[in-house]
A and B are shown apart, each in its own frame.
Chain A
């Protein structure tokens, strides 16, 4: 088994999950509570990675990170090296790719919090922040855990985006799914099987946890 690939993958998934928690919460909060009439456009953009082929997403992320794009140029001028084919670039691409897996469960959980509880909190003098941390978050725990677990698992299992953006650099961008692909290419079926089986077991455990947490209901998208 390629332990380097496994630790790299875990490192990637942890970073991505942590970033998604920070980025996903405000986006989910906005989606759950905004009354903006064009909100559905934002919801559609967030959901795009669900339906786009990873190669399409990966291609545009690669272009966006390239030295000819403003983002790529800016990053390179700051850090002295480009984003494509680096671990950081992979993190950025994975955050975009796993965004709906964090935002949708978060938003569904927020939307399910009874509105009157938010009203009650407001009339009791609480700010929006206090209402969020004392009422919305505690009542959304299962949705938050679901989002975290799903985005972690989804990052662990991604392939196309990694290939497009990260390539196949051991220790930097060579994740388990790439490793399995390589093993098969070199006809090392036994090695591929070991890693693949590990992923199967891991995914099964993760999904069991998610479904156990949400035995009552698991809305795929926040109800309105």
Chain B
């Protein structure tokens, strides 16, 4: 489907690379990333050490894949098959590094104009002036990087990367360490600039809050491999793999074995670990006996102080509260039902039900809140 979008617009980014990652203390892994990014923002998401930055470096020409192909718009910038590997300086890639990498000895104006050395002075001035205005940093033109704030530095780095009119923009956690208000304003300015240029933008982050805030198409990278693609609520809301469920913030993840599938009911019965706890999960393409993981969000579990009846929910588990802790406006309850569930409640609900440690409760889980995922080995 991505192919048809690109055919209409023509300026996408296509990555298909393989590279052995060195074992820096941990076990090394093989980067095998294959994805495409149409014009607009694509989020490259994954836990730290998944290889996100290496993917960006390969696209920019700062690192070479062992093999593969990288296409930006009409141009091939890397192709191991035909021996093509353009040097970084000729790839037309705008790159905002995680450390920003502003030149400390140059002013903001000189930093932004650095990539326009080939232009005449007047033209260069005009382009730099324009982009400084667009990013609201014109008043900082004569300052040096150490004399401006973190948010301002990020704006300078973005302006410097965009002013060269790159064919693709790479952002490595460009908004990390900024507070929400500054982030939102910067994001608006960035969106505007990108919309005008119609170029693919790869936005790297490991912050899922940022992913939902951006709401753009995402590519999920885990140990060098693309394990999921789609919109954030599709990828993180209905994970198919354990690493995705972990990154999506599922608090409860258990070993589970498929006991029986009921195709006419659209469900399958699973046993949690070695316990007697059975849960109904949506019908999947798993065979009975399959060893999987079952993920449930702590906020998707209802708590009843008396045995509930007359509910559509298929899963009702009796248990006992083992601990209650308030974290900000959420009460985190641990409930032992044979396996221990983490459940999130409001302080009001805790008071209304007079919940306390040791109290007997019933947990209610909708079938669709139970997500069967494959372990990381399957990734």
Contact = CB atoms under 8 A, between A and B. Distances in A.
Nearest to A119: B62
Given A119-B88, A125-B164, A130 B117 contact: yes
Interface in B73-112: 87-95, 97, 99, 101-105
Interface residues of A, number: 17
B8 interface: no
Contact of B101 (A119, A126, A127, A134): A119
Nearest to A117: B101
A120 B95 contact: yes
A124 B160 contact: yes
B104 A139 contact: yes
A124 B101 contact: no
B88 A122 contact: yes
B114 A124 contact: yes
Contacts of A117: 101, 103
B68 interface: no
Nearest to A130: B117
Contacts of A138: 105
Interface residues of B, number: 27
B118 interface: yes
A121 interface: yes
A135 B103 contact: yes
Interface string A129-161: 010001100110000000000000000000000
Nearest to A128: B89
A116 interface: yes
B89 A122 contact: yes
B115 interface: yes
Interface string A99-124: 00000000000000010110111111
Given A125-B90, A135-B103, A138-B105, A119 B164 contact: no
A121 B104 contact: no
Contacts of A121: 103, 114
A123 B60 contact: yes
Interface in B149-181: 160-161, 164
Interface of A: 114, 116-117, 119-127, 130, 134-135, 138-139
Interface of B: 57, 60-62, 87-95, 97, 99, 101-105, 114-115, 117-118, 160-161, 164
17 contacts: A114-B101, A120-B95, A120-B101, A120-B102, A121-B114, A123-B91, A123-B93, A123-B161, A124-B114, A124-B164, A125-B92, A125-B115, A125-B164, A126-B117, A127-B89, A135-B103, A139-B105
